[in-house]
Chains A and B, each alone.
Chain A
Amino acid sequence: DTAVSQTPKYLVTQMGNDKSIKCEQNLGHDTMYWYKQDSKKFLKIMFSYNNKELIINETVPNRFSPKSPDKAHLNLHINSLELGDSAVYFCASSQVGGYTFGSGTRLTVV
């Protein structure tokens, strides 16, 4: 049973399209996150939600909109995709210290 699962694993799409990435955790954690890993492998926090409430919203274009329907799910919707959005996006969850990451969604914008 995967602790933090993301779908899809790969996403190839054209510039200008809108796409969503879904994340679910079965660990009972209160907090969920979206991180972006660029081509140089740098991991940067984008958003965090604690009990469905937005806590962190880093300097991310407003084309990116997270949605947390419940504590176990955090989805990421991206409008008007640009070439620079190509990256690996990781969902993570945490509870008192331990952070668990999903296996990532590789987004390629062509």
Chain B
Amino acid sequence: QQQVKQSPQSLIVQKGGISIINCAYENTAFDYFPWYQQFPGKGPALLIAIRPDVSEKKEGRFTISFNKSAKQFSLHIMDSQPGDSATYFCAARVYQAGTALIFGKGTTLSVSS
């Protein structure tokens, strides 16, 4: 119940294309769903996050779509650029003091020019 399942494991997209990464969860007590971006040799950095009372959130070229009934959420990267090539992690959390993020297994995105 504490798992977050992420797919695909890897993704190759042409420059200018749309990258889509999907995540699914079981625990309905999760109340916060962030996406993190990680470049080689760096720590994960928050990209965008959503709470379950919202179905979509957009920040620049990045959009989270959230489907509460299906217990799924996805990251869409519009107009993908070579600089977007990184590993992306979805995550979820049950709100409580000290609660940690539970991460998906990550998606390695390569954007070819």
Partners in one complex: yes
Ordered by A's residue number, 11 sampled pairs between the chains whose C-beta atoms are within 8 Å are A30-B97, A40-B105, A48-B99, A49-B98, A50-B98, A53-B98, A55-B99, A90-B44, A99-B101, A103-B42, A104-B41
Question: How far apart are B77's CB and chain A's nearest CB, in angstroms?
Answer: 19
Sort chain B's interface into a size bin.
20 to 34
Residues of chain B within 8 A of A43, CB atoms compared: 44, 89, 103, 106
Asked whether A102 lies within 8 Å of B43 as measured between CB atoms, the reply is: yes
Asked if B110 is an interface residue, CB under 8 A from chain A, the answer is: no
Question: How far apart are A75's CB and chain B's nearest CB, in angstroms?
Answer: 17
Asked if B49 is an interface residue, CB under 8 A from chain A, the answer is: yes
Residues of chain A within 8 A of B36, CB atoms compared: 101
Q: Which residue of B lies closest to A33 (CB)?
A: B100
Asked whether A31 lies within 8 Å of B98 as measured between CB atoms, the reply is: yes
- Given A48-B98, A99-B34, 18 more A-B residue pairs with CB atoms under 8 Å apart are A4-B43, A35-B100, A40-B105, A41-B105, A41-B106, A41-B108, A42-B103, A42-B105, A43-B106, A44-B103, A45-B102, A90-B44, A97-B49, A99-B101, A101-B36, A102-B43, A104-B41, A104-B42
Asked if B54 is an interface residue, CB under 8 A from chain A, the answer is: no
Asked whether A55 lies within 8 Å of B98 as measured between CB atoms, the reply is: yes
Asked if A56 is an interface residue, CB under 8 A from chain B, the answer is: yes
Asked if B30 is an interface residue, CB under 8 A from chain A, the answer is: no
Asked whether A103 lies within 8 Å of B43 as measured between CB atoms, the reply is: yes
Asked whether A101 lies within 8 Å of B45 as measured between CB atoms, the reply is: yes
